[in-house]
Structure 1
């Protein structure tokens, strides 16, 4: 007997199964139909070493943007939402993860409009969402940005916690705490035991540090700081 899959279920499966689409390497000039009128626009970015600004040109429109002392690598044409007629152009800046930034612009046929800025264009699937990864020492912090086409804005979607998902071995015992505000000890992690670093809080702008939610080898959950993970564990993929 042939079983039919409900249309909604099938659509959901296709969305989940859709392959990730990564932005192309930036170029100094390109051609694409950004406003959906069927005619491609000439796209270019001009920047000289040491300049504090870049010049982005799309068709007859010109825009000047700030570099924040980062090197401008070029432009990338992306399609944030395949369901509308527009495509977007991103100015890509920075040579390292620390100074990398992508500013996304839309073109309405007359003028360029800044939609928003992301750390990176990690995934652009055409579903109105941009996923952006930032390296945090031993894990990637993933941010989500959602396109509001009516407002012509690419808005960051806040998260209370970020998924980490790494494993380490305790080389020197340290405590994990009940919460980030309650310092009661849940457990003292045993030397030589395996732990899982499950999640992290957003970085505190004052201390530039995060709290990490850790699962012990005995299945207990508690919080710790970056320094304990750096100094008292081994096996985390620390890299600059």
Structure 2
């Protein structure tokens, strides 16, 4: 993993490891908690199956397995995603970098432990059934919204654009396209001018985007990641 500048590293670490709202304690390998709201605590444990490279999560008499990146999870955390009900959820964190971290979420209905979804990070979970999740995209944090559906599963709430909000200085002139499909230039950025990267539009392949940029003259247009990272300076890039 590449190393970020000290200030940026602190910012990113804070976003991705902030204490969970409505979470109970630090990661643990065992606990006794009422997960389904019936007033009777379940015995919960997390163990590591090294030959299969899987963690084994148990609640009551139910067991579920999950894959990892080869590293045993530190433990599980109990969270309350929806404070309007009596239920609690379990979170197992896997991954070692900003790019491969995943939070695996589970619910127990009194008989069966089931997966209800994964998110990159639980950046904000205030007990209102909504999760805000940040994931690092090279020079900006992508914030995704997830929500509990009527069946208690976590679903992503799609966004057409993602807020970026970083500034840079043009070191080599390049054009801004009129829109995402028309590459005709609406503006040509002057060397030494300041720009604002306002938003990112996902392309087909995961992790690829076009960026909405505001020029120093107040014009809006679209730029590629290649132009931004290769022809500007000042972006908070890792490395």
TM-score (norm 1): 0.85
Instruction: Note the 1:82-121 alignment, pairs <5 A.
Output: 82-121=83-122
Structure 2 residue aligned with 1:215: 214
- In structure 1, how many angstroms separate the alpha carbons of the residues matched to 2:200 and 2:93? 27
CA contact (8 A) 1:70 1:99 kept: no
DSSP-derived class of the 1:21 partner: coil
Partner residue, 1:224 = 223
- Asked if structure 1 preserves the Cα contact closer than 8 Å seen for 2:179 and 2:221, the reply is yes
CA shift, 1:202, in A, is 1.8
Partner of 1:167: 167
Q: Aligned partners of 1:73, 1:214: CA distance in 2, in Å?
A: 41
The 3 A distance-change label for structure 1 pair 129 and 181 is: same
TM-score by length of structure 2 reads: 0.85
Q: Is the 8 A contact 2:36 2:109 kept in 1?
A: yes
Q: Specify the SS of the correspondent of 1:188.
A: strand
* Structure with more contact order per residue of length (Cα contacts < 8 Å, sep ≥ 6): 2
Query: Which sections of structure 1, spanning at least 5 residues, go unmatched?
Result: 1-19
* d(CA) in 2 for partners of 1:214, 1:22: 37
**Which residue matches 2:14?**
none
Contact 1:79–1:86 (Cα < 8 Å) also in 2: yes
CA contact (8 A) 1:122 1:131 kept: yes
Consecutive aligned runs of 4 or more in structure 1 exceeding 6 Å deviation: none
Match of 1:177 in 2: 177
State how far apart, in whole Å, the 1-side matches of 2:203 and 2:184 are.
22
Deviation at 1:105, TM superposition (A): 0.6
Tell me how far apart the structure 1 counterparts of residues 70 and 35 of structure 2 sit (CA, whole Å): 28
Provide the alpha-carbon RMSD of the alignment.
Answer: 2.0
| Per-residue Cα deviation, 1:57-110 (whole angstroms, up to 9, x for no partner) | 112221122335454232111111111111100111111122211111111111
Task: State the shift of 1:238 in Å.
Answer: 0.4
| Count of aligned pairs between the two proteins | 220
CA shift digits 1:212-233 (9 cap, x unpaired): 0000111100000101111111
SS at match of 2:179: coil
